[in-house]
């Protein structure tokens, strides 16, 4: 059993993890004619918790309980993995990336998210407002405007040969590249990092 846990804790190569994620799509389609997507679960939660006369939330959300169970499973799996199966070694980051991040004031690679940005002290500051509140709003708005999140379009949409998902994924990537190379440095400097 210990060898199995050691094997699970180690980072899996892309050629194992990628196909496992990719096989989720046909499994959902074959087993229940369901589409893979996480961002739609927020709509289901809102429809359950805040029944109002808003047409967007007036649908039979009970038919989508499988999606809520799927999301709950992801949450529970993440908690179990972080509590019991996390790799104690420092995350491997390429030297060139470390230099670029050090120029932005990010040097701690002990967790998945940079501790210099994502910590409780930053939550109620201007930095927190920009990165958490405004950034979260932009992600939510973009997800709704694009008709799904990056993963939903890239994994489900492209595998279903949907042209809008190909276009959305291309622009998600271009936006990410643009933000990383042109906006991140000035934004972090302006926010005081």
12-70, pLDDT tens digit by residue?
A: 888 988 888 888 888 888 888 887 777 778 888 888 887 677 887 788 888 888 888 88
How far apart are alpha carbons 106 and 17 in whole angstroms?
A: 27
Please tell me the predicted confidence (pLDDT) of residue 76: 94
Q: What's the pTM value of the predicted model, to 2 decimals?
A: 0.67
| Residue whose entry in the numeric block shows the structure tokens 């050691």 | 6
| pLDDT greater at residue 36 or residue 176 | 176
Instruction: Give me the residue label for tokens 């709509």.
Output: 43
Cβ atoms of 82 and 59 closer than 8 Å: no
DSSP state at residue 60: -
Predicted local distance difference test score (pLDDT) of residue 48: 83
Give pLDDT, residue 193. Answer: 63
Asked if 136 and 118 count as a contact pair (C-beta separation under 8 A), the reply is no
What pLDDT, in 10s, does the model give residues 148-158? 888 788 888 88
Q: Which residue has the tokens 């950034």?
A: 135
Q: What is the Cα–Cα distance from 120 to 87, expressed in whole angstroms?
A: 23
Answer yes or no: is pLDDT of 112 > 70.
yes
Cβ–Cβ < 8 Å for 65, 47: no
* 85: its two tokens: 């199966």
Whether the CB-CB separation of 110 and 90 falls below 8 Å is answered with yes
| Start-to-end Cα distance in the chain | 44
Phi, psi of 44 (to 5 degrees): -65, -40
User: Cα–Cα distance between 109 and 115 in angstroms, integer?
Assistant: 8
CA 146 to chain centre: 15
- Looking at every residue in the chain, the average pLDDT score rounds to 82
18, two tokens: 């990628």
Distance from C-alpha of 151 to C-alpha of 47, rounded to nearest angstrom: 23
């Amino acid at each position: 059993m210990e060898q199995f846990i050691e094997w699970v804790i180690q980072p899996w190569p892309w050629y194992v993890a990628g196909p496992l994620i990719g096989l989720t799509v046909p499994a959902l389609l074959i087993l229940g004619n369901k589409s893979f997507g996480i961002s739609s679960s927020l709509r289901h939660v809102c429809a359950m918790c805040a029944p109002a006369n808003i047409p967007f939330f007036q649908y039979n959300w009970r038919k989508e309980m499988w999606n809520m169970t799927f999301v709950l499973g992801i949450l529970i799996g993440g908690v179990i993995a972080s509590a019991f199966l996390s790799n104690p070694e420092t995350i491997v980051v390429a030297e060139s990336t470390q230099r670029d991040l050090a120029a932005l004031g990010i040097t701690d690679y002990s967790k998945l998210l940079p501790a210099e940005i994502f910590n409780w002290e930053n939550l109620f500051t201007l930095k927190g407002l920009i990165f958490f509140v405004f950034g979260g709003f932009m992600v939510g708005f973009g997800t709704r405007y694009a008709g799904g999140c990056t993963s939903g379009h890239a994994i489900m949409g492209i595998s279903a040969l949907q042209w809008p998902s190909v276009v959305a994924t291309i622009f998600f990537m271009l936006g990410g590249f643009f933000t990383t190379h042109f906006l991140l440095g000035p934004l972090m400097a302006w926010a005081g990092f």
